[in-house]
Structure 1
Amino acid sequence: MKKSIAIDMDGVIADTETHFINWYEREYGVRVGTHEIQGLKEDEMFPEKTAARKFAFTPGFFRTLPLMQGAVEAVKTLMESYEVYIVSAAMEFPQSLPEKLEWLHEHFPFISWRNIIFCGDKSIINTDYMIDDHIKNLDHFKGTTIMFHAFHNVNYNHHQRVNNWDEVLELLGKGVS
């Protein structure tokens, strides 16, 4: 039987950092550099503190997220050896549900609807591995955690960190435990 992996969407297979920055520039006319937001939470990343939350509630935001570089190829590769589930704590933004599903159908059409989980609290997830960018999800996970690098988690080091999808494949190819 294959081992299982829960893979987060936002910040892991979808590039929310770039999307937030682009939307902020479009909306407010100010370009915030990635170096300026390192170590900040989403609600601290812009001078207008409510901007990120506002964008997350704006129709079209989740549907138009750019792909994280290498994500499609890496997920296909992982599916050869693992049972892969896409897991998103999407309930906070209920309008995102159809957008996220459409986005997955467009970019990851090879993932069965049975392997897509939208939830409110990821602590219920019981896979062998979890790849996520949020500490709150990794800290309560019972399996092996893999922290995908993001601006908001740079100051944490109590989970195995990967910086990109090549590092994920290298780590899981070695049978990390």
Structure 2
Amino acid sequence: MNKKILYLDMDGVVADFEKRIGELEPSLINFKDHPDQEVLSNKIDQICYANPDIFHDLPPIEGAIEAVGKLAEQYEIFFLSTAMWSLPQSFTGKRIWIEDHFGNLGRKRLILSHRKDLLKGDFLVDDRTKNGASEFEGEHIHFGTSKFPDWDSVYAYLCSKV
């Protein structure tokens, strides 16, 4: 039996980038609600440049590690993330994070791309619509929305699609 392909974004889906940013800059707690996304993006970039190893030590999103482990029994899982082009440490940091949190499950399963729509697969769990997520040919599961607010809802939905 061929398993369906499931792509998982990292930041905001399995790794809690927002929480780490809030720890480094308390004024940016709950930054997704920030009224000026361009200003926010510049602030986040500056925090990352000042903390180039930030991607090494992000806390996991609640329930993500367990849910992904169970889903790996039913799906062919790949981690699909966008690294910061101007911060080369982000590429390495994401690779280290996957190994630290997923071990062999993540081995050679990290794809870094600014064009998620170019990949073929059945599902993409992503908290954003940028970098091709909204144009992904499979089903985009928009993590953090009212339909998919957490890993319990994503897990239940994906289990119903096997």
Please indicate the TM-score interval, normalised by the length of the shorter structure.
Answer: 0.7 to 0.9
**d(CA) in 2 for partners of 1:62, 1:68:** 14
TM value normalised by structure 2: 0.86
2:25 pairs with 1:24: yes
**d(CA) in 1 for partners of 2:21, 2:106:** 28
Cα contact 1:138–1:147 (8 A) shared by 2: no
Q: Which residue of 2 aligns with 1:28?
A: none
For the structure 1 residues 129 and 40, does the alpha-carbon distance in structure 2 shift closer, same or farther, using more than 3 Å as the test?
farther
Cα contact 1:138–1:145 (8 A) shared by 2: yes
Give unmatched runs, 5+ long, in structure 2.
Answer: none
Cα contact 1:43–1:53 (8 A) shared by 2: no
The aligned runs of 1:28-177 (5 Å cut-off) are: 31-34=27-30, 37-38=32-33, 40=35, 43-45=38-40, 50-57=42-49, 58-90=51-83, 92=85, 93-136=87-130, 137-149=132-144, 161-175=147-161
For the structure 1 residues 37 and 121, does the alpha-carbon distance in structure 2 shift closer, same or farther, using more than 3 Å as the test?
closer
For the structure 1 residues 77 and 41, does the alpha-carbon distance in structure 2 shift closer, same or farther, using more than 3 Å as the test?
farther
Cα contact 2:55–2:90 (8 A) shared by 1: yes
TM value normalised by structure 1: 0.79
The worse-fitting range, judged by mean Cα deviation, of 111-120 and 70-79 is 111-120
Cα contact 1:43–1:52 (8 A) shared by 2: no
Instruction: Give me the CA root mean square deviation.
Output: 2.2
Secondary structure class of the residue paired with 1:50: helix
Give unmatched runs, 5+ long, in structure 1.
Answer: 26-30
The structure where helix makes up a greater share of residues is: 2
**d(CA) in 1 for partners of 2:107, 2:36:** 31
Partner amino acid for 1:172? L
Q: Among all aligned residue pairs of Structure 1 and Structure 2, give the percentage whose two residues are the same amino acid.
A: 30
